[in-house]
Structure 1
Amino acid sequence: MASLPYSDVDSHLKALAGQAEGFGRFSVGGLHGPVYHVTNLADDGPGSLRDGCRRKEPLWIVFEVSGMIHLSSYLSLSSYKTVDGRGHRIKITGKGLRLKECEHIIICNLEFEGGRGHDVDGIQIKPNSRHIWIDRCSLCDYDDGLIDITRQSTDITISRCYFTRHDKTMLIGADPSHIGDRCIRVTIHHCFFDGTRQRQPRVRFGKVHLYNNYTRGWGIYAVCASVESQVYSQCNIYEAGEKKKTFEYYTEKAADKDEKISGSIISEGDLFLNGAQASIRSIEKEESIFHPSDFYPTWTLELASDSLKAVLQICAGWQSINMPAEQVGSST
C-alpha cells in the first residue's frame, strides 16, 4: 500500500509547523504565537476568521464551528499565520484568501467553492510572499484560478490537495513581462487533479517540482511550460480522458529578451494511462533544468502505481479528522 509523507503531523496541534516537503519546507506558520479560536461563521467581527487573519502577531487559528464562511471581499492574511481547519468542516465561498507581501503561512484542511467575480481566485499568492504551505485543501468552482502564484512569490509547497470542477486550475507566473518571477520555486505533491480542464499547473519562468500527483481527465492539457519555466515531473500518474496531450509548451517573449521561448519539462518515472501522450521538450542546450536535490535533500517519493492512485483518491483534499490536542495555552 502506498504511504504518505508527514504522517505524524496530527499528533499534536503545532506538530504541523515546519513539516512541509519541498520548497515550502521552512514555513512555520503561527508556531510561535497563541491559538486563536474562530467562534462564528461571520465575514468579520470578533471571533471571525477575518479578525484572526488580519492581526499582526503570530497566531495559530483553529475553529470551534463548522459551516460556510461567505466572504464579501478577499480575506488577506498577515505573516506568521496558520489557518487550521482540522477537527471541523469549513467551506470558504464568495471570494478567496489573499496572501500579499507576507511570509510563513500554513493553510490546512479547508474547502474552497463557489468564488464569484472577475479575477477571483481560491487562494491568490502575490506579490512577494514566501514560505507558504497549503495542505489537504479541497478547491473547486471559482471564476478565475483555484491557486495562483505570481509576482515574485516563492518557496511554496502545495500538498495533498483536491482540485475538481474547474477550468484554469493553477497559474504560476502571470505574465511574460514579470521577469522577476524567475525567482519562483514551487513544489506540488500528492495532489489529485480530478477532471480539471487545464493548468495542472501552467508555469512561466519558475522552477516547479511535481511528484506523486494524480491528474486525470483534463480538457486541454495536464501541464504547460511557458517562457523559461522548468518543470520536473517525477513519478506522477497522468490518466487521459478524451484529450490525450499531457504536456503543452507555449512560446512567449520575456520582457528583457528578443526571442520567444517555451519552457522545459523533464519526466522521470511518470505513469501515462489511457493513451496519455508525453511530449518531452528540452530547453536550450546551453542551459540545464534544475534538479530538486539542488534545493532540498529528501522528499517522500514512491513509484507511480495503482496503489498510489487509490490512496490519492482518498487522502487528497479536506479530511474528516479530529483536531489535534493543544500542548500550550490558548487565547483569543
Structure 2
Amino acid sequence: MPRSLNIFLFFLCLAVITPTMNASELETEKFWKEERPEFDQYWEERSVEAKEFNQKAYFPDPFEVSGNLTASITEVIAGKNLRRNLRGNKGGGQCLATNPIDRCWRCDPNWADNRQKLADCVQGFGRNTRGGKGGPIYVVTDPSDDELMDPKPGTLRYAVTRNGPLWITFAHNMLITLQQELIMNSDKTIDGRGVDVYIANGAGITVQFVKNIIIHGIKIYNIQVREGGTIRDSETHYGLRTRSDGDGISIFGSSNIWIDHVSMKNCTDGLIDAIMGSTAITISNSHFTDHNEVMLFGANDNHKEDKIMQITLAFNHFGKRLVQRMPRARFGFVHCVNNDYTHWEMYAIGGSSNPTIISEGNRFIGPENKMVGKDLINSKEVTKREYTDESIWKSWQWRSINDEFLSDAYFIQSGPELKDRPFSRQDMITAKPGSYVGRLTRFAGNLQCIVGKPC
C-alpha cells in the first residue's frame, strides 16, 4: 500500500474515533450563529459590567507577574539560604508541601478552622482572586439538583446563586449530578477539602460574566450535554438557557478565577475552556486524564477581545489517555510553569492567532511512535501551530525555558529570544529546571485532607 494512503487511513481512523479532534463545539460557526441565543437585557448589562472588571484584572506587563511566580518557586526549591527545601514544616511534624501555593496552607493542621486563608495562596495571573473570602461559610448538605428556578436550601445550586461573598463547603461525601449547567454568581468559593465531592454524570460548571471564583478540591468527570431550560443564576434573576456545551468548567467573559487541586476527566467537550475576554486566571495543582481536547483558551479567531486573556498553568499533571490541547490558545498570554506532561497522543501545546506561550520548567515525556502499516507516525513534537504558515508563526513568541524533554520530545520555539525580562534565559537559567517537576506536582489533583491534620 502506498505510504500516502497509509497516512490517509490513519488520520481517517482518528477522525472516526474522535470526531472532535480539530474543533470543539465552541469553535464552530454553528454554535455562535445558532446555538448561542442573543443575550437579553440582563445578560447584556452583565456583559458590560464584566468587561470593566476584566480590564481592571488585566496586567499591563504579564512578564512581571510570571517572574514573580518563578521567583517564589525558586525560593521553595532552594530556600532563602540556597539549600534545597521541598518540605514545609510550619504546622509541626512532617508536611510534604512541595510548591509555593501548597506551602501557603497545607502544613497548618488547623486548616479546617481557617479555610478562608486559602484565598491568600493563589499566585500567577489569578493572584488577586479572593473567591468568597470575607463572606459566611455555607455548608452544602443535600446533593440533589431537582429545582433549577427555585433551588432548595442546602444544595450546591442554592449556594452558588446567592448574592454576595460565600465560602461553600460540604457536610459529607457526595455525588452531585447536575440536571443543567451550574451557573455561578460572583464572589464564591467551592471548597471540597475534607470530604469527597464528585460533580459527575450530568452538566458542568458555568462561570459567565462574573468575578472572584475559586474552585478547589473536587472531582469532575463524565460531564454531558444538557438541553437547557429556565435556570436561576442569582437570587434576583433566572432565564432561558440553550443547550450546554458539555464542558467540565466553562469560563465565559470572567476574571479573577482560580482552579486548584481539581481532578478532571472525560467531559463531552473540553475539561476547562476560557473564552470571550476572560482573564486573570490560574489553574494549578490539578490532575487531568482520559480526554481528547483538554483546554481551549479562546474559541474563535474573530474574538479579538481575547487579547487581554492571561492564564497561568502551574504544577498540574497532564496524565494518561490525553490527546491534545494542554492548552490550545488564541491571542492572549499563557504561562505554563512546572507542569508534568507525561502523556499525549497528538501534541501538548497548540495555538493560532498569535498567542504568547511561555513554557518554563515543564517536563515533557514524548509518546511512543505509532506504526500505520509500514509507516511510523511521530507525535513527539510538543507544539502545534494550527491553520497558520510558518512564515507567519515564526514571529509568535513561543519560548521554552528550562524545560526537560524525555523520550525524544521536542519543542519548536519561535519569536525573538526573551531579554531583559524576569524569566529570561539569563535570569532564570538555574531557577527551576523541569527535573524538579515530579516533586512539585507530586500532590496534583484532589487531596485526601483530614480535619485536624496537615493536608
Question: Are 2:189 and 2:213, in contact at CA under 8 Å, matched by a contact in 1?
Answer: yes
Identify the residue that residue 172 of structure 2 maps to in structure 1.
Answer: 65
**3-state DSSP class of the match of 2:301?**
coil
Tell me the distance in 1 between the aligned counterparts of 2:142 and 2:121. Answer: 29
**3-state DSSP class of the match of 2:120?**
coil
15, 19, 22: which is aligned to 2:117? 15
Cα drift, residue 110 of structure 1: 0.5
370, 395, 398: which is aligned to 1:265? 398
Tell me the distance in 1 between the aligned counterparts of 2:359 and 2:340. Answer: 12
Residue type of the partner of 1:197? Answer: V
Identify the residue that residue 212 of structure 1 maps to in structure 2.
Answer: 338
Question: Are 1:29 and 1:58, in contact at CA under 8 Å, matched by a contact in 2?
Answer: yes
The 1:200/1:73 distance shift into structure 2, 3 A limit, reads same
Unaligned runs of 5+ in 2: 1-84, 87-97, 146-150, 226-243, 369-378
263, 270, 293: which is aligned to 1:168? 293
* Residues 1:86 and 2:193 are matched in the alignment: yes
Identify the residue that residue 71 of structure 2 maps to in structure 1.
Answer: none
Tell me the distance in 1 between the aligned counterparts of 2:343 and 2:434. Answer: 17
Where does structure 1 differ by over 3 angstroms across 4 or more consecutive aligned residues?
A: 259-264, 288-294
Matching of residues 236-247 of structure 1 within 5 Å: 236-242=362-368, 243-247=379-383
Tell me the distance in 1 between the aligned counterparts of 2:392 and 2:203. Answer: 35
Tell me the distance in 1 between the aligned counterparts of 2:411 and 2:433. Answer: 18
The 1:58/1:231 distance shift into structure 2, 3 A limit, reads same
Identify the residue that residue 45 of structure 1 maps to in structure 2.
Answer: 152
Matching of residues 65-214 of structure 1 within 5 Å: 65-93=172-200, 94-117=202-225, 119-127=245-253, 129-195=254-320, 196-214=322-340
Question: Are 1:211 and 1:235, in contact at CA under 8 Å, matched by a contact in 2?
Answer: yes
* Percent sequence identity over aligned pairs: 33
Residue type of the partner of 1:226? Answer: S
Question: Are 1:193 and 1:200, in contact at CA under 8 Å, matched by a contact in 2?
Answer: yes
Determine which structure has more spread, i.e. the larger CA radius of gyration: 2
25, 47, 57: which is aligned to 2:127? 25
* Residues 1:319 and 2:447 are matched in the alignment: yes
Tell me the distance in 2 between the aligned counterparts of 1:102 and 1:133. Answer: 13
The 1:291/1:105 distance shift into structure 2, 3 A limit, reads farther
Cα drift, residue 290 of structure 1: 11
Q: Which moved more, 1:260-269 or 1:135-144?
A: 260-269
Question: Are 1:264 and 1:289, in contact at CA under 8 Å, matched by a contact in 2?
Answer: no
Cα drift, residue 51 of structure 1: 0.4
Question: Are 2:366 and 2:380, in contact at CA under 8 Å, matched by a contact in 1?
Answer: yes
Tell me the distance in 1 between the aligned counterparts of 2:190 and 2:278. Answer: 19
Q: Which moved more, 1:41-50 or 1:9-18?
A: 9-18
Tell me the distance in 2 between the aligned counterparts of 1:324 and 1:143. Answer: 38
- Cα RMSD for the two superposed structures: 2.5
Matching of residues 246-285 of structure 1 within 5 Å: 246-251=382-387, 263-282=396-415
How many residue pairs get aligned? The number is 309
Please list the CA deviations of residues 179-235 of structure 1 after superposition, one character each: whole Å capped at 9, or x if unmatched. Answer: 110000000000000131100000100101111000122011010131110001000
The structure whose residues are more often helix, as a share, is: 2
Please list the CA deviations of residues 91-145 of structure 1 after superposition, one character each: whole Å capped at 9, or x if unmatched. Answer: 1011111000100111100100101126210000002x10010000000000100
Tell me the distance in 2 between the aligned counterparts of 1:248 and 1:18. Answer: 35
Normalised by the length of structure 2, the TM-score is 0.64
**3-state DSSP class of the match of 2:193?**
coil
Cα drift, residue 250 of structure 1: 1.7
Identify the residue that residue 4 of structure 1 maps to in structure 2.
Answer: 99
Tell me the distance in 2 between the aligned counterparts of 1:208 and 1:138. Answer: 21
Tell me the distance in 1 between the aligned counterparts of 2:331 and 2:347. Answer: 19
Question: Are 2:204 and 2:246, in contact at CA under 8 Å, matched by a contact in 1?
Answer: yes
Residue type of the partner of 1:303? Answer: P
The 1:264/1:122 distance shift into structure 2, 3 A limit, reads same
Cα drift, residue 310 of structure 1: 4.9
Identify the residue that residue 434 of structure 2 maps to in structure 1.
Answer: 304
